[in-house]
């Protein structure tokens, strides 16, 4: 079966010319995956837009309304770093809906990918670092609320710490937040998650992979049932790349490929479904950047997940 892949044209909305956020990358990722046959226009999964009720599972009503209605204060907007527009509000709602759909597809098929997502700097009551609403947190909260899952593991390998996701679940032990990032990079004031690994600047492939290999298998180990997640949300940010404008690590394209393969294979070997989002990546050359993001989808498309653990769980549940 083809890799379940999620995209919506609203993922792209115009920004002022020269803005440093590489908005066109989302459309280019989809076009590249179409050209490579990893997705087709008839198989792509089209997400709903996240509504107010869904967003307020994580975010405060005041903050959600300020984005939906465009009444957000200039200082709060400066912290986000994007100019408000109706298109921007539409795009962030659609991307949140996209990650939720990706998570549902992962539960059904074992593995699924979004072509956006990873807005992990969005806190419950404010946005930050190009992130308005936290797609990872909202998707996790929605699936927990409807009891589709009991425990979720967030594997955040974007080069920046997942402070917003950590903040959303600090008092919730159903979500384990693991972030491995460059310690000296944004956000400079970290919000502690369940497991934070701050890497030194300039780390390269082998050292990075060694660190990841020493951590991840224990987090999905089915032999530890009180830890084992029913779903992994994977933020595959490519700002770990050596040439990234906002990253400070030194990974090669081959290193990113090895990383994504290791994460997906480790989770699938433990029979844990994975929903992956593309996360951060910054480059003047948007085509090269989009190509870098497609590593995730290429690796995912090459893997064949087995039976999802969750279907086993559903069968174990007593009939009400």
What residues between 231 and 270 interact with Zn ion by CB under 5 A?
A: 237, 239
The size of the interface with Zn ion (CB under 5 A), counted in residues, is 5
Tokens representing 161 are 């710490």
**Selected range binding Zn ion among 66-74, 213-221, 277-285, 309-317, rule: CB under 5 A:** 277-285
CA 230 to chain centroid, in Å, comes to 17
Closest to 121 (Cα-Cα) out of 197, 67, 179? 179
Instruction: Verify binding: residue 158, Zn ion, rule CB under 5 A.
Output: yes
Q: Check: CB of residue 11 under 8 Å from CB of residue 26.
A: yes
Secondary structure (H, E, C), 127-159? CECCECCCHHHHHHHHHHHCCCCCCEEEEECCC
Q: How far apart are CA 260 and CA 314, in angstroms?
A: 28
Instruction: Verify binding: residue 117, Zn ion, rule CB under 5 A.
Output: no
Q: Is the peptide bond before 40 cis (omega within 30 degrees of 0)?
A: no
**Taking the complex as a whole, how short is the minimal distance between the CB of residue 137 and Zn ion, in angstroms?**
16
**Taking the complex as a whole, how short is the minimal distance between the CB of residue 117 and Zn ion, in angstroms?**
12
Closer to Zn ion by Cβ: residue 91 or 248: 248
Closer to Zn ion by Cβ: residue 13 or 128: 128
Closer to Zn ion by Cβ: residue 135 or 158: 158
Give the CB-nearest residue to Zn ion: 280
**Selected range binding Zn ion among 34-42, 138-146, 151-159, 163-171, rule: CB under 5 A:** 151-159
Closer to Zn ion by Cβ: residue 160 or 258: 160
Closer to Zn ion by Cβ: residue 110 or 237: 237
Instruction: Verify binding: residue 160, Zn ion, rule CB under 5 A.
Output: yes
Tokens 């989009």 belong to which residue?
290
Q: Which one of 193, 280, 292, 294 is in contact with Zn ion (CB under 5 A)?
A: 280
- By CB atoms closer than 10 A (0-12, 13-18, 19+), residue 155 is buried
**Selected range binding Zn ion among 26-34, 94-102, 159-167, 171-179, rule: CB under 5 A:** 159-167
**Selected range binding Zn ion among 76-84, 97-105, 257-265, 276-284, rule: CB under 5 A:** 276-284
**Taking the complex as a whole, how short is the minimal distance between the CB of residue 81 and Zn ion, in angstroms?**
12
**Taking the complex as a whole, how short is the minimal distance between the CB of residue 259 and Zn ion, in angstroms?**
14
**Taking the complex as a whole, how short is the minimal distance between the CB of residue 20 and Zn ion, in angstroms?**
13
Closest to 100 (Cα-Cα) out of 43, 151, 147, 143? 143
Tokens representing 231 are 């779903």
Closer to Zn ion by Cβ: residue 126 or 273: 126
Tokens representing 193 are 């998650």
Backbone angles phi, psi at 154, to 5 degrees: -95, 120
| Region at 302 (left for phi over 0; alpha for psi -120 to 50; beta for the rest) | alpha
Q: How far apart are CA 297 and CA 96, in angstroms?
A: 19
Closer to Zn ion by Cβ: residue 160 or 292: 160
Q: Check: CB of residue 274 under 8 Å from CB of residue 264.
A: yes
* Interface map 212-231 toward Zn ion (x if CB under 5 A): --------------------
Instruction: Verify binding: residue 135, Zn ion, rule CB under 5 A.
Output: no
Q: How far apart are CA 297 and CA 58, in angstroms?
A: 28
Binding positions for Zn ion, rule: CB under 5 A:
158, 160, 237, 239, 280
């Amino acid at each position: 079966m083809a890799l379940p892949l999620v995209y919506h044209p609203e993922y792209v909305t115009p920004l002022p010319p020269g803005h440093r956020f590489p908005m066109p990358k989302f459309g280019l990722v989809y076009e590249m995956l179409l050209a490579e046959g990893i997705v087709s226009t008839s198989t792509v999964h089209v997400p709903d837009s996240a509504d107010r009720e869904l967003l307020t599972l994580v975010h405060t009503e005041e903050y959600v309304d300020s984005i939906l209605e465009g009444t957000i204060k200039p200082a709060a907007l400066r912290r986000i770093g994007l100019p408000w527009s109706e298109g921007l509000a539409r795009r962030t709602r659609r991307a949140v809906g996209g990650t939720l759909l990706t998570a549902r597809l992962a539960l059904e098929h074992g593995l699924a990918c979004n072509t956006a997502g990873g807005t992990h700097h969005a806190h419950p009551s404010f946005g930050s670092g190009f992130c308005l609403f936290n797609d990872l947190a909202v998707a996790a909260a929605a699936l927990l609320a409807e009891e589709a899952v009991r425990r979720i593991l967030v594997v955040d390998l974007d080069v920046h710490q997942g402070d917003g996701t950590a903040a959303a679940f600090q008092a919730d032990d159903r979500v384990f937040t693991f972030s491995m990032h460059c310690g000296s990079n944004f956000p400079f004031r970290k919000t502690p998650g369940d497991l934070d690994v701050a890497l030194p600047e300039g780390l390269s492939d082998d050292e990075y992979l060694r660190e990841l290999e020493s951590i991840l298998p224990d987090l999905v180990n089915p032999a530890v049932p009180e830890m084992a997640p029913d779903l992994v949300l994977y933020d595959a940010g490519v700002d770990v790349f050596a040439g990234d404008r906002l990253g400070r690590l030194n990974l090669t394209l081959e290193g990113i490929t090895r990383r994504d393969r290791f994460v997906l294979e480790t989770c699938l070997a433990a029979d844990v479904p994975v929903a992956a989002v593309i996360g951060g990546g910054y480059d003047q050359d948007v085509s090269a950047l989009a190509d870098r993001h497609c590593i995730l989808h290429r690796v995912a498309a090459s893997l064949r997940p087995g039976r999802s653990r969750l279907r086993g769980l559903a069968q174990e549940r007593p009939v009400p």
